[in-house]
Structure 1
Amino acid sequence: MATAKLFAATGDFKNDIQLPAMFDQEVNKVCMYLHIKAILNNNRQGTAQTKNKSAVSGGGQKPWKQKGTGRARSGQNTSAVWVRGAKAHGPKSHDYFEKVNKKVKKIAFRSALAAKAAEGKVQVFEALAFDAPKTKDLLAVLSKAGLEQRNALFLVSEADKNLYQSSNNIPWCRCARVADVNTYDIVRANNVVISQAALAELEGGR
């Protein structure tokens, strides 16, 4: 069974606990690759576009007659070979959307959690709640738990405003609800910090 360190709300280490079965499954790298690739492509705007001959202002009249001038023949000044002309074979705006089956998403998400657990990068806190938004207090807890400067992802069961505001000023720390995270969020985090309430929600729904 996969295990993780359990910390008190103050950051003091308590003991090692067993993680749910979803952290102990076989890591499927193919599903993880497909899901992460789809996530990154679906985040692309796809708005890059250049002007073709019909979109460039100008044209409509032949610059000079076909023969007798000594210059190369030309049909219109919107050609791609002209200065301020069109762009030949430039990018066109299009959608990069990729569909991933629900079963593949589920396998990828659980594989990412299992991979982090196998590396010993999953930590569990009894609670991750603060009475008031204080970045200094959160840094003190993380320092006591040995999680400073380690690109931590906090998973909470509900959107805790105080915890979110406390972590908002820390560049290497991010707070998110269990329902809002995906495979890419888990993979790019160096440490996954989960509250016990969020752990129960993970076990029951994801």
Structure 2
Amino acid sequence: MVNCVVKNWQGEAVGETTLDLPVAKEENAAHIVHRALVRQLANARQGTASTKTRAEVRGGGRKPWRQKGTGRARAGSIRSPLWRGGGVIFGPKPRDYSQKMNRKERRLALRTAFNSRIEDLVVVQDFAAELTSPKTKDLVTALARWDVTLEKRVLLITHEPHETLYLSGRNIANLTMILATNLNIHDLLTVSKIVATDAAIAKIQEVYCD
């Protein structure tokens, strides 16, 4: 169980929230988080890379020259893999890279990864009402008040979608915005700072602790 300070829109500490996530044992934590990360990256691959074998390349049906008597090496097709414009030996073909992982394991990996980033977590009050109109400058200024710099990647987690917030933050290069129900291993591990609303923290504990 970890107590996190909650900041308001002005950057002042106004209370605390508790984060209590069941995590993997220390000796297994790195392994299960690594498996979940590899799975996510593998599942994101399209697997559409494709090359043609000598049987699929157009042409090459006729023998280029007779077998003997020319002084050249024997050849049976201009589409041999040895020739320019020929087929490819053992080239890639469309395939499915996806990997399976049990739901309980995925949840455990997410909780473990999130818990490992506690030192980089900034919890704030729900500030959607503070953004009355889409304005990137207001959001950047608020992040600065929360001691969050945008020199490196920042993850902003909210409990529900908010159009004004989305429009305010979509143009910030190093800011990624996701919902608490859409947490993923890659974002949690690759950002420098994590900003989450207190409602998002409550949602994470509700959704991922079953």
TM-score past 0.5 threshold: yes
Does 2:21 align with 1:22? yes
Per the alignment, residue 84 of structure 2 pairs with 83
Name which of 195, 198, 204 aligns with 2:197.
195
1: CA distance, partners of 2:137 / 2:56: 56
The answer (yes or no) to whether the contact 1:153–1:174 under 8 Å persists in 2 is yes
Per the alignment, residue 142 of structure 2 pairs with 141
Per the alignment, residue 173 of structure 1 pairs with 175
The answer (yes or no) to whether the contact 1:5–1:13 under 8 Å persists in 2 is no
SS of the residue 1:124 aligns to = strand
The answer (yes or no) to whether the contact 1:2–1:24 under 8 Å persists in 2 is no
1: CA distance, partners of 2:96 / 2:186: 20
The answer (yes or no) to whether the contact 2:134–2:164 under 8 Å persists in 1 is yes
Does 2:108 align with 1:127? no
C-alpha displacement at 1:58, in angstroms? 0.9
Paired residues for 1:1-206 under 5 Å: 1-10=1-10, 12-14=11-13, 17-22=16-21, 26=25, 28-117=29-118, 120-129=119-128, 130-149=131-150, 150-206=152-208
SS of the residue 1:137 aligns to = helix
> Structure 1 residues 24 and 91 mapped into 2: Cα distance closer, same or farther (>3 Å)?
closer
Runs of 4+ in structure 1 displaced over 4 angstroms?
A: 23-27
Unaligned runs of 5+ in 1: none
**TM-score under structure 2 normalisation?**
0.90
2: CA distance, partners of 1:76 / 1:111: 58
Identity %: 31
Paired residues, number: 203
The answer (yes or no) to whether the contact 2:7–2:13 under 8 Å persists in 1 is yes
1: CA distance, partners of 2:23 / 2:80: 61
1: CA distance, partners of 2:104 / 2:173: 33
Cα-Cα RMSD: 1.7
SS of the residue 1:22 aligns to = coil
C-alpha displacement at 1:204, in angstroms? 1.1
User: What is the CA deviation profile of residues 38-71 of structure 1, one whole-angstrom value per residue up to 9, with x for unaligned ones?
Assistant: 0000001111111111111111111111111111
The answer (yes or no) to whether the contact 1:5–1:122 under 8 Å persists in 2 is no
**TM-score under structure 1 normalisation?**
0.92
> Structure 1 residues 195 and 189 mapped into 2: Cα distance closer, same or farther (>3 Å)?
same
SS of the residue 2:138 aligns to = helix
2: CA distance, partners of 1:77 / 1:87: 13
